[in-house]
Amino acid sequence: MKYKKQLKAVALAMVLASGASATFAQAEESIQFGLCFDLSKSYSFISPQVAQAARDLAMYTNDNGGIEGHPVEIIVRDHGNEPQRGVECYEQLKREGVFHFYFLSTPVTNAALPRAMKDGNILAQAFTGRGDAVDGEVFEWVFPIGPTYWQQAANDVAFIKEQLGGDLENAKIGFIYLDYPFGQEPIEILKTLSEKEGFELELYPVPLPGTDQSGAWSRIRRDKPDYVISWLLAGGHVVASREMRRNRFPIDRYLSVHWMNEVDIRNIGEEEAKGIMRASNVAGGQDFPIIQTMLETYYAEGKGSGPEANVRDVYYNMGLAIQATAHEAARLAIKENGWPLTPEAMKAGYESIENFDANGLMAPVTVTPQDHGGSSKTRIEQWDGETWVPLTDWSAGYTDVVWDVVKENSATFSVK
């Protein structure tokens, strides 16, 4: 009885469309999602949780009738964060009939994007990849659901402006980043906002893998920025926390990109991390019906798609939100255009998504043919020594500025 009540509470439209008793009698083929992820190198601290969430959601979806009566299949491959391997994964899965891809890596996404555009295949680019891909009139087959790195950085500046009394004229903002495409992505928008608002922008590049930050933090100690926006990953935050203590930089002036999770906090030290901030794209924690259902049914019975510890990680929530949006696009596509599901129908399905929040896991998303992101909103969270506390509601700043930069950049794109 408890299980049935939980299923009713979850009631996600994209997974309950056909009812729990469906037997897939109509489904001659599955709905395939290709996840070419880095499972072995740079992003192995993120990708397993995201892939596990996608598999769990597929299992839950299939147990509850599939998507409009059709089963979901998640195909996961490792590209090791190497663009060429990512392209090879794309080509291999394409030959096997897959037309919906997600790479969870900016360099790999950028390498595969021209092929997906030329082939007319769906490229999901949630929370990674190039910022101008939200322009659906140019990037017709790319869907960067949620805020891009450009918008995230703009939201960070908007938050800092509010904290400094609404005026950035005499402010100094530092940007510490891994010196490769992921870290470099926000620089253009930060420079644009620096010119608009009059604040001084200081750039602090860090070489991969992020373990050598001493020079950057020595400069930060000298420059004394009001805030530091961080585009580091995993162990990079741990190194940064040590350098902040060594250089007497206040940890509550460090604002991280969303790639900071519970593991990072434990490695920094829960008490030592008190005050650190992140800009989040999805809500953390397990207080959501779908996650409780996963824990109390599949994982309680030893049937989960991976370690239970991963379910208690914000990156798992991110994986659920991303995959739930893809399920919703497929549901809308089949409902409107019937079976078989085609790339064209899936594209139309994405462009029909309206006010979808993955059952509370993220800010509502409304996708249009013009805006393939669907949401510009993040929220700032701060670690209080025990948990993440939201400092803001879901909000977006400088969207007009970001879209000006989007249009300027997208106008130069062409499929060669």
Structural domains present in the chain:
2-147+284-366 (3.40.50.2300), 150-280+380-397 (3.40.50.2300)
Q: In whole angstroms, give the CA distance from residue 27 to residue 31.
A: 9
Identify the helix (H) or strand (E) that includes residue 190.
Answer: helix 187-197
With cut-offs at 50, 70 and 90, classify the pLDDT of residue 28. Answer: low
What are the pLDDT digits (tens) for 189-231? 999 999 999 999 999 999 999 999 999 999 999 999 999 999 9
CA angle 103, 104, 110 (to 5 degrees): 60
What are the pLDDT digits (tens) for 42-51? 899 999 999 9
Average pLDDT, the chain: 92
Q: What is the pTM of this model?
A: 0.90
Q: In whole angstroms, give the CA distance from residue 37 to residue 276.
A: 28
- 8's CB contacts (< 8 A; 6+ apart) are none
Tokens 């309206």 map to which residue? 354
With cut-offs at 50, 70 and 90, classify the pLDDT of residue 29. Answer: confident
pLDDT (0 to 100) of residue 416: 72
Percent of the chain with pLDDT over 90: 88
23-56 burial: b if 16+ Cβ within 10 Å, else e: eeeebeebbbbbbbbbbeebbebbbbbbbbbbbb
Residue 73 has pLDDT above 50, yes or no: yes
Higher pLDDT, 106 or 31: 31
Q: In whole angstroms, give the CA distance from residue 65 to residue 17.
A: 7
pLDDT (0 to 100) of residue 128: 87
What are the pLDDT digits (tens) for 351-386? 999 999 999 999 999 999 999 999 999 999 999 999
Average pLDDT over residues 82-110: 96
Residue 301 has pLDDT above 70, yes or no: yes
Q: How many CB atoms lie within 10 A of CB 355?
A: 9
CA angle 188, 237, 200 (to 5 degrees): 35
Residue 11 has pLDDT above 90, yes or no: no
Chain center to CA of 190 = 20
pLDDT (0 to 100) of residue 16: 34
Residue 15 has pLDDT above 70, yes or no: no
